[in-house]
Homo-oligomer: A and B are copies of this chain.
Amino acid sequence: MAEARRPDTTFWVDPAEIRGDHLTLSREESHHLIRVHRAAPGTPFTAIDGAGTAYECFVESITGDVVTASIAARDPERGELPLAIALLVGLPDAGPAEAVVEHAVPLGARRIDFVVCARSERHALGEGKLERLDRIARAGAKQSRRCRSALVTSSLSLEEAIGALGPGPRFVADPWGTPPPPEALESSQTMISLAVGPPGGFDREEYARLAKAGFHPISLGPSRLTTETASIALLSVIRNWLLRKGLGQI
């Protein structure tokens, strides 16, 4: 019996599993769709590829534990801001790193780089930890109905992290800065880069390096924020700035 109720959940589809107007879900996503949402041939659902497109689909067939679906409509950039936001975060502990990813992905971060700093751990995040953060990022993209996830990386140095950024406005959280936004945003720019220090803060040399790379110091207010709270606050402020400029309207 066909069950036509649309699941409230968004499903994840690997871009490699999209062929013309058909897509195949992974075993895990298929299981969730079939068992939790009791999907059957004909059930409508939404999938995202994490790379910029949402798909409105109907279950076509269930073979073994794998769902194949037909694509009825494509919705590019659904839930996305018009500019990519990259977030450099001075490497914190595992819990705070997870909190950053959990909140920053729904708020529109497209890249999150946990960077080894003078006052952080000396080792970048390993494969296992990055995989875990990547799963949290995907869950955040699905939950928030974005169609892109964030690329989560861990640079060995601030130089390496800065070198990977695109052109565009750059801001660093700095108690001695001024409240953002301090300058006009030009629509020709495609990436906004934000930097937040590790739990011990950036040191003098790091602030100088960021200034040289064009990072404008901005203050988040009169109290001291943790790395994770500052990351979410800075991202929220810059996201709102984009929205007020009419660049990120629905």
Closest chain-B Cβ to A124's Cβ sits at a distance in Å of 26
Tell whether, in the assembled complex, residue B99 and residue A223 are in contact, meaning their CB atoms are under 8 Å apart. Answer: no
A237 to B229, CA, bound (A): 13
A23 to chain B, nearest CB (A): 22
Which of chain B's residues has its CB closest to A82's CB?
Answer: B222
Residues of B within 8 A of A78 (CB): 222
- The CA of A226 and the CA of B232, in the complex, are separated in Å by 13
Q: How many angstroms between the C-alpha atoms of A127 and B84 in the bound complex?
A: 44
Indicate whether A61 reaches chain B with its CB closer than 8 angstroms: no
**A143 contacts the other chain (Cβ, under 8 Å)?**
yes
Residues in chain B near residue A220, CB distance under 8 A: 236, 239-240, 243
Enumerate chain B residues within 8 angstroms of A221, measured Cβ to Cβ: 81, 107-108, 239-240, 243, 248
Check if B232 sits within 8 Å of A219, measured CB to CB: no
Contact A239 B233 (CB under 8 A): yes
Given contacts A81-B222, A222-B81, A223-B145, whether A103 and B240 have CB atoms under 8 Å apart is: no
How many A residues have CB within 8 A of the partner chain?
Answer: 39
Interface of A is mostly: loop
Pairwise interchain contact B223-A146, C-beta atoms closer than 8 A = yes
- A234 contacts which chain B residues (CB < 8 A)? 236
A106 within 8 A of partner (CB): yes
Chain B contacts for A180, CB-based, 8 A: 240, 244
Q: In the complex the two chains form, is B240's CB within 8 Å of A79's CB?
A: no
Docked complex: A136-156 residues within 8 A CB-CB of B:
143-146
Q: Is A167 part of the binding interface, using a Cβ–Cβ cutoff of 8 Å?
A: no
The digit string for A40-68, where 1 denotes a CB below 8 A from any CB of B, is 00000000000000000000000000000
Chain B residues with Cβ below 8 Å from A223 are 79-80, 106-108, 144-146
Over the window 237-250 of chain A, the binary record of Cβ atoms lying under 8 Å from chain B Cβ atoms (1 yes, 0 no) is 10110011000111
| A79 CA to B127 CA, complexed, in Å | 39
Q: Check: A76 CB closer than 8 A to any chain B CB.
A: no
Q: Is A225's beta carbon under 8 Å from chain B? A: yes
A224 in contact (CB, < 8 A)? yes
For the complex of A and B, the 9 pairs showing the least CB-CB separation, nearest first, are A179-B243, A236-B236, A233-B236, A144-B223, A79-B223, A237-B240, A222-B250, A179-B244, A145-B224
